[in-house]
Each structure stands twice: as structure tokens, then as C-alpha cells.
């Protein structure tokens, strides 16, 4: 079981995206594609919650719709939004698949940043 805070998901997705663009051994490529979908789904739920939170604390126009200025919600209660967002980002998502063993990436050229972003999704066991 892999646990990751929701606030870490954007970096995790960057790592999965970078890994998916590399010519990987068959097992590693399969692991990446199959499990990236699960992470994307969790990220989409996180985004829905983030948007709902932003809309809750945004200024509203005459029709009661959130006001958007410069591609961002204009916050009526910024402190409450920030507190809610911090709480949201601290929630742990659980993924029920095993981490990718680093040995499956032997001989593959991968930047350290990708390994860092994937963090708990990679294990190094001998």
C-alpha cells in the first residue's frame, strides 16, 4: 500500500508523465501505464475538491456565481480558503499497488528529478 498526501500528487503525476515518455522495459512500462491511470483519477478528485473549496470562499457576483479575476477566483475569505486548502493537501491518498522496483529500471536513463517526484512509488530492494 502506497500512501501519498494529496498535495504531492502534482509532482507525482509529473514523475509518471516523464516515466511514460521513456523507452522502458515491458514490465516497467506496463506498471507505469496501469498505475498512472489510478493516480490521475485520484488527482482529478483532488482537483474537484479544490475547485469546490475555492468556489465556496470566492466572491460572488449578482447571480451568485464565483468571481474570477486574472484566471483565479477572487477570494472573499482568503484565510478560510487557505486553511481548507492546507487541510485538503494533507489528506493521504492510498494506492493499492506495489511500488516499482528500481531494478526494473536498470540500464534506463532517468533523471533524478523523476525518481524524486515518484518517491514512494519506487522502491530499491535487492
Q: Report the SS3 class of residue 124.
A: coil
Distance CA 55, CA 68 (A): 10
Over the range 23-42, which residues count as b (16 or more CB within 10 Å of their CB) and which as e? ebeeebeebbeebbeebeeb
pLDDT in tens, 21-69: 999 999 999 999 999 999 999 999 999 999 999 999 999 999 999 999 9
Calculate mean pLDDT across residues 114-125: 91
DSSP state of 102: G
- List the beta bridge partners of residue 95: 2
pLDDT in tens, 4-14: 999 999 999 99
Q: What is the pTM of this model?
A: 0.87
Predicted confidence at residue 125, as pLDDT, reads 73
Amino acid at each position: 500500500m502506497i500512501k501519498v498526501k494529496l498535495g504531492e500528487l502534482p509532482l507525482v503525476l509529473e514523475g509518471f508523465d516523464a516515466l511514460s515518455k521513456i523507452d522502458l522495459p515491458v514490465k516497467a512500462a506496463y506498471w507505469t501505464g496501469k498505475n498512472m491511470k489510478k493516480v490521475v483519477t485520484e488527482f482529478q478528485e483532488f482537483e474537484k475538491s479544490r475547485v469546490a473549496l475555492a468556489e465556496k470562499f470566492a466572491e460572488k457576483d449578482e447571480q451568485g456565481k464565483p468571481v474570477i479575476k486574472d484566471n483565479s477566483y477572487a477570494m472573499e475569505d482568503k484565510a478560510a480558503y487557505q486553511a481548507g486548502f492546507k487541510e485538503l493537501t494533507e489528506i493521504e491518498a492510498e494506492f493499492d499497488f506495489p511500488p516499482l522496483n528500481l531494478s526494473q529500471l536498470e540500464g534506463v536513463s532517468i533523471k533524478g528529478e523523476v525518481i524524486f517526484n515518484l518517491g514512494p512509488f519506487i522502491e530499491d530492494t535487492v
